[in-house]
Amino acid sequence: MLVVISLNASAALAQSYVNLLNSPTLNKWMKPSGEDVDAGWQLEPGGVLHLSGKGGHIITRQEHGDFELWFEFRIADKGNSGVKYRVKHYGRQLLGIEYQILDDKAYPKLTRDHLTASLYDLVLPIQDETRLNGGDEFNIGKIRVQNNRVQHWVNGQLTIDEPLCGPRWKAHVAGSKFSNKEDFGENVMGHLMLTDHGSEVWYQNMFIRSLSCCNSPKREHKRRNSWGGRR
């Protein structure tokens, strides 16, 4: 009897997970200028990355195409931060689409496209209420980008499921603060960024795997001049 096994190409190309927080020197990360990470961001005992002072944004040395990222996070009271991806230069600004991280309860008047696990300023979460842990408990975030489709989860709850191309995506961008950035978010390669918006934030257990054949572990960001402006 002939048995034919069909494998999903994307699944076949998926690589094993890489720990982005496995070095006290944060050697998988750098400043946007290409310099090593120093002040502000510290990897504490137990593998917790803590932004406790002015550290500025940091980006991965490697660019990523299709990927799946798991991470745990918590944010200080009234805090604001986020994980950006597909990050690239638009003129002098280094920008990307963002998994928002916020102390939601401190901002009751914000629209839901600015709250945790939203696609920041672009797409509202699917649910009317986001499932978040309180106090000092970490939340589990997940971002999956594959075949121009992005999904966000928080604590097992799917919050975003959206195409990153076509008329629907262009309408989201046109109604956002990124409307003057040509083809915003449509690049298929880019860095990850952990943002510094003046708030304490903590990350741990941050793992990424490639879902495409286009990511090379040797592909690293070329040193650039410092970018102009915050998000």
Question: Is residue 156 pLDDT above 80, yes or no?
Answer: yes
H helix count then E strand count, the chain: 2, 13
Cβ contacts of 130 within 8 Å, gap of 6 or more = 104, 115, 116, 117, 154, 157, 159
The pLDDT > 90 percentage for the chain reads 78
pLDDT band at 153 (very low <50, low <70, confident <90, very high): very high
CB 101 within 8 A of CB 201: yes
Residue in the block written with tokens 């002015």: 54
CATH classification (class only), 17-210: mainly beta
Mean pLDDT calculated for residue range 8-36:
82
Domain boundaries along the sequence of the chain: 17-210
Label the pairing between strands 58-60 and 191-194.
antiparallel
pTM, to two decimals: 0.85
